Amino acid sequence: MSLYVVDLFAGAGGFSLGAHTVTEHVAGVELDADACNTQIKAGMECAQVDVLQIPPENYSKPDPDDRLHLHASPPCQTFSTAGKGEGRSHVDLLATAAYQILTTGAHDLDLEHVVPG
């Protein structure tokens, strides 16, 4: 049995680096080119892609006995007191949308009023 880690919104790879202490199977997913390149230059795997463009069936593991840890830590600027904090009013809505996307491949929620990160 192996542990596979997919680090969504991976940034420069802080969580990915820590995950490497328990498994060699770690893949970062990051939209920002500079952050993705930082991981790659540090010898880690990182795909520069928008997480919304990855179909749920792509989150798989080679063997049914393997374990998959899907880590999603979106940018915190809109949720943090260091930023404007506007995102905190949308946490429940975003969590529901993320759950729907991961389980069905789409969501049926109106997210137009959600403050972008």
Q: How confident is the model at residue 84 (pLDDT cuts 50, 70, 90)?
A: confident
Give the number of other CB atoms < 10 A from CB of residue 63.
Answer: 9
CA distance 44 to 29: 11
Token output for 46: 């990182």
Contact (CB, 8 A) for 72 and 98: yes
Q: Phi/psi at 88 (nearest 5 deg)?
A: -60, -25
- Residue 7: which of 63, 67, 51 has the closest Cα? 51
Taking residues 51-60, report their average pLDDT. 83
115 pLDDT higher than 80: no
Residue 86 is given by DSSP the state G
Decide: pTM greater than 0.85: no
Average pLDDT on 110-116 reads 72
Average model confidence (pLDDT) across the chain: 87
